[in-house]
Amino acid sequence: MMPERTPYIAGNWKLWGTRAQASEYCEKLLALLPDASRRPADVGLCVPFTALDVCVEALAGSGVLVCAQNMSAEESGAYTGEISAPMLLELKVDGVVLGHSERRAYYGETDRALQEKLPVALAAGLKPILCVGETEDEREAGDMERKLRHQVGEALHEVPDERLADVVIAYEPIWAIGTGKVASPEQAQEAIAFVRALVGGRSEEAAQAIRVLYGGSAKPDNAAEILAQTDVDGALVGGASLDPEDFARIVAAAG
């Protein structure tokens, strides 16, 4: 039997959100979202470390998940500027984005580091959102599948088969991030079905259960078409998530 996959709409604030902004945002968003039992999707917010506790408190009991945007694989030690899984758990954080293309491009995040971070997050009970995706040059050179195979294979290498379905993967083509150039529904479907097949190479059961999201210029006016694709299980939303009204409209588009 095919398992039902609950759609997941996550907002990635990136470098946005003072504590004051976070608090105001959460209040507005809760007023716009239906009650958890009537929501067409799981909803999450990926916010700066300094806004995590504000969001956890403001969203308590609402069912909206709160995620960090990065995490160290280490628990403690001489790693200046890093944040560990126990530190996130102490704040009652639900999940963490790992391997966002901006962290890979600007801060040297490697596939090898992600290979260590994913099992640490899962063991801690944090729900990881693993980001993968190709550049425009890679797509044009016909290298999309090679890139995705490499990123997914490396990052999930140390995740046991029985935990694969607890990972959320976000397919975010780099050429679509922050560019207004959204992937067509067909492009999103094709790449996401490929990502699911890669997981199927490890476990067919996990492939049917794992949620694979689309990310890259997702907006209220293009979300429904993308979310309607068979293999697309939700969206990781950057710019449009900064406006609670736009974000709530994207959540509604998952219905």
Residues that bind ligand 13P (CB under 6 A): 12, 100, 172, 177-178, 215-218, 236-240
Query: Least distance to ligand 13P from the beta carbon of 11, Å?
Result: 8
| Distance between CA atoms of residues 31 and 28, nearest Å | 5
Query: Least distance to ligand 13P from the beta carbon of 1, Å?
Result: 32
The answer to whether 47 and 55 have CB atoms below 8 angstroms apart is yes
Catalytic residue among 4, 102, 172, 190: 172
Catalytic residue among 100, 102, 109, 138: 100
| Distance between CA atoms of residues 66 and 52, nearest Å | 7
Active site residue 172: yes
Query: Least distance to ligand 13P from the beta carbon of 195, Å?
Result: 15
Indicate the residue among 58 and 240 with the shorter CB distance to ligand 13P. 240
Indicate the residue among 56 and 183 with the shorter CB distance to ligand 13P. 183
Indicate the residue among 202 and 236 with the shorter CB distance to ligand 13P. 236
Active site residue 138: no
The answer to whether 241 and 9 have CB atoms below 8 angstroms apart is no
The two three-digit tokens of residue 91, written as one number: 């704040």
The answer to whether 218 and 177 have CB atoms below 8 angstroms apart is no
Q: Tokens 């736009």 label which residue?
A: 246
Can you state the percent helix, strand and coil of the chain, rounding each to 5?
A: 45, 15, 40
List CB contacts of 168: < 8 A, sequence separation 6 or more.
8, 10, 95, 127, 128, 129, 130, 210, 211, 212, 213
Indicate the residue among 202 and 218 with the shorter CB distance to ligand 13P. 218
Indicate the residue among 17 and 202 with the shorter CB distance to ligand 13P. 17
Nearest-CB residue for ligand 13P: 238
Query: Least distance to ligand 13P from the beta carbon of 92, Å?
Result: 22
The two three-digit tokens of residue 170, written as one number: 């976000």
Give the residue among 62, 60, 67, 61 at the shortest CA–CA distance from 17: 67
Query: Least distance to ligand 13P from the beta carbon of 103, Å?
Result: 10
Indicate the residue among 73 and 183 with the shorter CB distance to ligand 13P. 183
The answer to whether 181 and 138 have CB atoms below 8 angstroms apart is no
As a whole number of Å, the CA-based R_g of the chain is 17
What do you get for the CA distance between the two ends of the chain, in Å?
22
Query: Least distance to ligand 13P from the beta carbon of 12, Å?
Result: 4
The residues annotated as belonging to the active site are 100, 172
